[in-house]
Each structure stands twice: as structure tokens, then as C-alpha cells.
Structure 1
Amino acid sequence: MIKKNIKPSSPPLPWLVAGQAFPPLEDAWGSADPAPGLLAAGETLDAATLVRAYARGIFPWFSLGQPVLWWSPDPRMVLQTRDFKLHRSLRKGIVRFMNDAHCEIRFDSAFQRVISACASKPRAGQAGTWIVSEMEQAYGELHRAGHAHSVETWVNGELAGGLYCVNLGRMVFGESMFAHQTDASKIALAALVAFCRAKGIAMIDCQQNTGHLASLGACEISRAEFISHLSRNVGKTAPAWHFDSLYWHQILNDATPATP
């Protein structure tokens, strides 16, 4: 787990100005430092900077009152889409969802509502959200530029849950999810995995190691392995973001089985 308590005694960080190149990833703080994976700080957070960062395997994460902090952890938590574990209860939930005319998956119909809902639900153990207003604005700009997307679970015409992510080429970087109804965010994640498998996207970046992600098949890989995969895929043509109900077969027929 990445720590965010940056103290005066911490090692010095490069301070980035607008347009400045990111430091080499090898300069990120290591396991002996107070915040492993921390690479740089700065004040610029916009769509162009986010694209440059994600293309290098770097992402922002900071709290209210902190500068923009840029991270590149080693190891990196990823979900190989072929290894997604479909628990029996979730499989049943997806089948019910598919067969209910009042339920649907939508992409990008309510991006701002999704990111705002994610921001309103702090992570476990955190007093506040890491999706501060600057983050919402920057990812909204990234969405309008076509690089950030929402996967939404709709029930009876209401937004029940969802997630948002970043897409560059054939790379998808998961960011955050929320649920107003049971399993709504898990169904959205399953839909994202199904879409990725249908479009030949082999890996979803999860950034951090959590028990929930591990239970769904995510695992840690070295930063070097992650960057190697990134470099081979980030320059490819990005897919068109729409969801077809046929994509569910990518999950129901081929996903790695798991016990409840």
C-alpha cells in the first residue's frame, strides 16, 4: 500500500513546472523511504500532463492541501484480463442483470456523475477523498479529450454504480469505483474486463495492492515488467468505447472460475 504521509524529514522530491519532463522512474522512492513509489511533486494537473504521465506509467495521487504528487510504484498491481476470477455469486448476478430489461451497462453517459460519486466515498481507512476538485476537473478534461471513460451500471433508469478509467492505446488504467446498490460496481468491473477481452486489451492497471482486487485475480508484477507491457501497447490504436451484450460471453464462458 502506498503511504501518503510526506514529512519534512522525507527525501527531497523533484518539483516539476508546467511541461517539464518527469524524472526517470528509477528515481522513485523505494521500500526504505516513507512513501514507496513517490516520484515527483508539482502544481500542474491537466489533460496533457496526465497523458504524458500515464504513457510513462506514472499517475497522480494526493490529498487536499498537498501539491500534486506523482507516483510509479514497484511492484505494480495489475489485473490480467485472462485471470479475472468470476465468483459464483457475481456470475449469478451478471446473468440476472443480462436478463433484466431494466438493467443495462452504459459507457460514458454520465462520466462526471461517476467521478463525483467515487469522490464522495473515501477509501477504507481514509478520512477524506483523494479525488479532490482538481482531480475531478483534470479527469473531466481528459474525458472530453477522449482518454478517460466511465463504465456505468444502470437499474430502472438510475445510476446504480460504476467506475472510471483511463485508456491510451491498448492500455487501460483503472482509477476508482462506487456502488449505490449491491454488486453494482463489481458488475461494472466485469463489464470492463469483458470489453477489454473483446478488444484485445490484456491488462488493466490497478496501481495498488488491495485484498478486494486480489480476490478478483489481480496480482503484483515488477515495475520493469509493467513498463515493458505498457511500451508495447500504449502506442496502438485505442478501441471505440461502446458496450455490446455479446461481450458478456467473454466473462461467462472464459473467466477463471472462483469459489464464492
Structure 2
Amino acid sequence: MTALDDLDLAHAPGDAPVAFGAELTAPVLLAAYRRGLFPMPGDDISAAFNEAVHAPDVVAGRIRVLPGPAAQDPYALAWWSPDPRPVVAPDRVHLPTRLRRSLRGRLRWHTTADRAFGEVVARCAEGRRPAWLTRGLREALEQLHRGGAAHSAEVWDGTALVGGAFGVAVGGVLSLDSMFRHRPGADRVAVADLAARFGAVDGRLLDAQWDSPHVRAFGTSPMARPQYLRALAAPSAVAPLTTEPLPAARLG
């Protein structure tokens, strides 16, 4: 049991945090993804902002404050469950025509999966403000990766890591957390590669978490929270991802 298990999402906000607090450990993190939640930890400035904006909803009971470590400001750890969620089937992930054409000439580009998870997460964290990929979250994610629940895709130009993406899988749903690029389009290629590998082992749905024009460009469409939660709970027999190097040109 975790502090998140008794959260009622039926009447929880879809455009604000569902809860604050709890402890950011690998078991809690996995339980959160299984319930359609994901964390947004932050620093003192983020905590002060959360308290200033959302304290009235906490007082009114619309947002829960969960028990956590005594030394931790509960407002420094927000749990979100956006409604609706932007989702796309693995075989429907879209790459721009120009990028697909350019891949045919990038013969040194290849992709792998789960070969450099920690490095992908670290590079996704570089220069991000607010810095939500905190050390505690990164450690919990790496534990999930070692347990087979978190996955990364890597894009290589020869021996150089030029792009990547990572997320957490729950049954047939893969929730994408972040991506990075050091070459134009390499982040999009990483998402397309992760989608292709997930679909090849009977994964059914990719979740981009936050709806925006940027993620809509991948082919996502909004799914209401109740439908998304049913997709999470559906029986699934997804096998481990293939990790071997594959030519990026195949995605074009």
C-alpha cells in the first residue's frame, strides 16, 4: 500500500495537481503510474508557488495533502493526472515528412533501447527550468528501469548519443516523460523508435502526459481520464523491448 492508493480521481482536478506530498520512492512512483498519476517535484521556489496558487483548493478539499517525510515541504512534490490525456497508438506516431526523408541519408544514425537509460534521463534534465527531474526522481526512475518498468530509446550518430526519450510502462500503456536532442530531429526519432519497439511487443498506447500543439504533432489525440484509466487497467502481456541497434532510416 502507498499513500496514493486511496486517491479518488473521479472528482479530482484535470488541470491542477491531484495531490501534494508523499515520498518519492520507486514503489510509490510505480504505483502512481499504475493509477494514472505522475510526479512533478521541485525546489523551494516551486513549493512556494504551489502553495500560493493551490492552497485554497487544499483547504476546500479538492486537492489532497498526503503524509510524507517530516522534513519535506509537501508542496515540493505535486502529483498530476491531466484530463484529458494526449495518446497515440504506437503505429500512428507521426514524423514530419522532411525529417523522414532526411533519415534516409543519415547512414551513421542508429537507435537502441535501454542501453543508456541513466544517460538519457540525465541529458533530459540538463538546462530544464523548473528542474523537475530532481536527483530523487532520477534515482527512483533508475530503480524502475532496473526492474523492467522504465524504458529509454537512444539515437546515435556513430558513437555519439545525439537524442533520446524515456518513459514508464504499465501493461499496454507507455507514459512518455521527456526527450532531448543534440541534433535536429533526434528527439522525435527517439520517440518514434520507442513507439515502434513498444508496438512490436504488443504495446497498445503511448501517453504524452501534457496536451499541447507540440505533442499533437506526433499524432496524439485527447483521451478522457476515465477511458485512459480503463486502458491502464486492461489485461496485457507485453514482452520486454528489443534493445539491439537498428538503423534509424527504417523509421523514414
Pick the aligned partner of 2:215 from 213, 216, 219. 213
Q: Secondary structure at the match of 2:227?
A: helix
- Give, in whole Å, the separation in 1 of the partners of 2:4 and 2:219: 37
- Give, in whole Å, the separation in 2 of the partners of 1:26 and 1:37: 14
Correspondence for 1:58: 37
1:85 maps onto 2:94 in alignment: yes
Structure 2's unaligned 5+ residue stretches are 48-75
Q: CA deviation at 1:221?
A: 1.2
Q: CA deviation at 1:170?
A: 1.7
Q: CA deviation at 1:19?
A: 4.7
Structure 2 CA distance for partners of 1:43 and 1:156, relative to 1, 3 Å: same
Correspondence for 2:175: 173
Pick the aligned partner of 2:10 from 11, 15, 26. 26
1:239 maps onto 2:221 in alignment: no
Backbone CA RMSD of aligned residues: 2.2
For 1:25-174, what aligned pairs fall within 5 Å after superposition? 25-30=9-14, 36-65=15-44, 66=47, 67-97=76-106, 100=107, 102-122=108-128, 127-174=129-176
TM-score (norm 2): 0.79
TM-score (norm 1): 0.77
Structure 2 CA distance for partners of 1:121 and 1:237, relative to 1, 3 Å: farther
- Give, in whole Å, the separation in 2 of the partners of 1:41 and 1:19: 11
Structure 2 CA distance for partners of 1:225 and 1:247, relative to 1, 3 Å: farther
- Give, in whole Å, the separation in 1 of the partners of 2:91 and 2:158: 31
User: One-letter code of the match for 2:242?
Assistant: H
- Give, in whole Å, the separation in 2 of the partners of 1:183 and 1:246: 15
- Give, in whole Å, the separation in 2 of the partners of 1:194 and 1:105: 11
Q: Secondary structure at the match of 1:207?
A: coil
Deviations 1:92-128 (A, max 9, x none): 133334xx2x322111121111111101142xxxx43
Deviating beyond 3 angstroms after TM superposition, the runs of 4 or more aligned structure 1 residues are 17-20, 243-249
Percent sequence identity over aligned pairs: 29
C-alpha contact (below 8 Å) 2:172/2:203 kept by paired residues: yes
Q: Secondary structure at the match of 2:29?
A: helix
Q: How many residues align?
A: 221
